[in-house]
Amino acid sequence: MKPSNLDGLHIRFFRSLDPSVVQGFVQAFCSRGPFCRPGLSMMQGSSVGQTLPTSMAAIAQESITTTTWGSVNGQEIKKFTLRNKACQEVDVITYGAVVTAIRTPDREGNLTDVVLGFDNIEGYLSSNNPYFGATIGRVANRIGKATFVVDGQRYNISKNNGENSLHGGTHGWSSKIWDATIQNDCVVMTLDSPDGDEGYPGSVTAIASFQLTNDGELRIEMKAHSKKATPINLTNHSYFNLAGHATNASELYKHVITMNADHWTVTDSESIPTGEIRSVANSIMNLTNPTKFGDVIDKVPNGGYDNNFCLPKSFNDGKVNFVAKVVHPSSGRRLEVYSNQPGVQLYTTNSVPENGIVGKDGAKYLRHAAFCLETQNYPDAVNHKNFPNSVLRPGNTYNHVVLYKFGVEN
C-alpha cells in the first residue's frame, strides 16, 4: 500500500496504539524504508530535507512520550522522547537532565544515534561516566584551587579534580534528579539547589528546557535565579559522533570542523586558565577554516582538544550567534551550534580508560570516540577580572540558550 493511501482511518488507528508501538513503526519507516530519503520530502523548510509522508508525519510530528527508566534511591527516573516531522528523536532523562540519545538520518535516510551514552540508569551512576549528555552546574568546567571570593567573602567548594573543582563538584547538578513536566512542545526540568550546595553560596532554582523543532534544532535553554550572589555557568555535555555513537576514532577523524572563534583561554598544567586570552592565529587552535580532526588532533598538546574558545567580542551581546559547524562527509550528517554564550569548550574525548567505556548497545567507547561543543562562560571566570562576569545576583536571571541543529549535506 502506498503512503498516499493512508487515509484518516489509518491515522486514527495508529494514534490508538501504545506510543512504544508507534515509535517502533515510525523508526522502521525511517531506518529501513524509502520514506525519509532525499527527494521524497512532503514538508517544506526542513533543514534535513527528509520526512515521513504527510499522513505518516501526522502520526509522529511534534510528539513527546514518557516512560519510566529505572530508579535512584527509590526515586523514579523518567525518560522523555521528543520527535519531529523529520524522523529525528531525542531522549532526555530526569537524572542529571541528561540527553541520552539523538537519532537523526543521514543523506540516505538511515536513522542513527549520534551521541554517546548508556543503555540504563546504572551506567550513568557509574564512576566511568564522563558526564555523558549531562546538564552541568552550578559551574561548568574548572574553578582553580576550588576557591573564589564574592563580595569580599571567600568560599571553598568541593574538590573533585585534584586540588580543583570540576563541573560543579563531587555531587554537581549532573548527578541530581530533576523534576520534569511537558509544556506544549518542550520538556521542562527544574532543580532546587540549597544554600551551601557543594560549598556554593545561596539557594538557586534552575530550569532546563528541551525542544526539538521540525527544522532539526534541539533547543536547550538553561535559566537560574539565586537568593544570594553566586557564580553560575551551565552547559550541556553531549558527546557527538555524527557517524554513529559506536564508530569511535576512525570516524571521528573524518569529521570536518569550523569554529567561529578568534581567541582561546590559555591554561596551566592542571587545565586552569592563566588569565591570558590568546589569538588563534598561526596556531593549532585556529579552526576558523574547515579542518579535518584527523589532520590536527595528534598535534594538539595533551593528546587532543580540551580548550575554551572565545567567540568574537562583537558577539557578546546576549544574542544567539553561530558557534561552530561539524560535518561527517561520508554520511552527510551536519551539526551546527548556536549560542548566546561567550565561549565554547571543544573536547575530543582524550581521557578514557585504556580498556574503554562500555556504552549503548554494548559499544566500547575508546579515546577520541567523540567531540563535545560545550557552550559556556570562560572557565574559572569568577577568579579572573578580565573574563566575562559569572556572578548571578538576586533579582537577575541567568539565561543560556544553545541550539544543536542537525541536517545533511549532499
Q: Hey, which residues are catalytic here?
A: 237, 374
- Does the annotation place 305 within a ligand binding site? no
- Does the annotation place 237 within a ligand binding site? yes
- Does the annotation place 239 within a ligand binding site? yes
| Range 277-307 burial, b when 16+ CB lie within 10 A, else e | beebeeeebbbeeebebbebbeebeeebbbb
Beta strands in 284-342, from DSSP E residues, in sequence order: 291-292, 306-310, 321-327, 333-339
Contact criterion met (CB below 8 Å) for 66 and 180: no
**Computed from CA positions of residues 8, 12, 13, 17, in that sequence, does the dihedral angle turn out positive or negative?**
positive
Contact criterion met (CB below 8 Å) for 377 and 388: yes
Between 8-15 and 19-31, two packed helices, what is the crossing angle to 10 degrees?
A: 120
- Does the annotation place 15 within a ligand binding site? no
**DSSP β-bridge partners for residue 194:** none
Which helix (H) or strand (E) is 123 found in, with range? helix 121-125
Q: Which of 175, 187, 243, 171 is nearest to 408 (CA)?
A: 243
Tell me the C-alpha distance between 233 and 398, whole Å.
Answer: 9
Residue 159, C-beta contacts closer than 8 angstroms, at least 6 positions apart: 146, 165, 169, 170
- Does the annotation place 141 within a ligand binding site? yes
- Does the annotation place 83 within a ligand binding site? no
Residue 182, C-beta contacts closer than 8 angstroms, at least 6 positions apart: 64, 66, 80, 188
Tell me the C-alpha distance between 137 and 385, whole Å.
Answer: 21
Backbone angles phi, psi at 35, to 5 degrees: -75, -15
Which helix (H) or strand (E) is 58 found in, with range? helix 54-60
Tell me the C-alpha distance between 401 and 97, whole Å.
Answer: 15
**Annotated binding residues for beta-D-galactose, as ranges?**
141-142, 237-239, 306
